[in-house]
């Protein structure tokens, strides 16, 4: 399959949509997500012989996509001025507010997060990794992962509130 173009295309067609969803969560915008997806699928095809049929093929591809995204993140770091979100109390928004949000809105909220927040939130909240695992993956301290998650949540809540107010 490594050199079978038709098989590769079939694999791409089957999993591209799901993986594009993953990439959109890690990327800042559509273009970056497409780049990530492209890099990830090239890696998939280059390393397809290494797939050992342990676990699902989709899970294996997903791991490659996530790792490609993390590598892209670690390559660049952006430092912005600190924004005043620490003072805001957590859980100030009733949970039922979240339920009305659509997937596209949630993606936009995630995309607006700073890189560090976005990556940690994705890995912890959506992928289900523990802080210990995240610290290993990102090469940072567990405490850093925790604080990034808290900040991400706060920022997301702020943005959700803003959306709610606009809707009202």
Give residues in contact with other proteins (CB under 8 A): 3, 5, 8-9, 12-13, 16-21, 24-25, 33-35, 37-39, 41-42, 45-46, 75-81, 83-85, 87-89, 91-92, 95, 98-99, 101-103, 106-107, 110, 112, 121, 124-126, 128, 130, 153, 156-159, 161-162, 165
Q: Is 102 exposed, middle or buried (0-12, 13-18, 19+ CB in 10 A)?
A: exposed
Distance of CA 49 to the CA centre of its chain: 26
126/136 with CB nearer other proteins: 126
Supply the angle between the helices 131-138 and 142-167 in degrees, to the nearest 10. Answer: 100
Q: Shortest Cβ distance from residue 111 to other proteins (Å)? A: 12
Least separation in angstroms between residue 52's CB and other proteins is 22
**CB of residue 54 to other proteins, shortest distance in Å:** 22
Q: Which of 114, 61, 47 is nearest to 83 (CA)?
A: 114
Q: What is the DSSP letter of 22?
A: H
């Amino acid at each position: 399959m490594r050199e079978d173009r038709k098989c590769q295309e079939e694999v791409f067609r089957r999993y591209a949509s799901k993986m594009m969803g993953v990439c959109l969560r890690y990327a800042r915008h559509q273009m970056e997500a497409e780049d990530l997806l492209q890099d990830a699928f090239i890696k998939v095809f280059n390393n397809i012989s290494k797939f050992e049929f342990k676990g699902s093929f989709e899970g294996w591809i997903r791991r490659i996509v996530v790792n490609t995204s993390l590598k892209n993140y670690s390559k660049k770091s952006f430092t912005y001025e600190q924004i005043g979100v620490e003072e805001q109390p957590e859980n100030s928004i009733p949970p039922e507010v979240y339920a009305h949000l659509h997937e596209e809105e949630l993606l936009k909220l995630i995309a607006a997060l700073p890189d560090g927040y976005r990556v940690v939130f994705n890995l912890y909240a959506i992928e289900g990794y523990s802080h210990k695992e995240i610290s290993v993956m990102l090469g940072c301290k567990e405490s850093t992962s925790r604080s990034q998650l808290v900040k991400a949540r706060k920022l997301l809540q702020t943005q959700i509130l803003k959306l709610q107010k606009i809707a009202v």
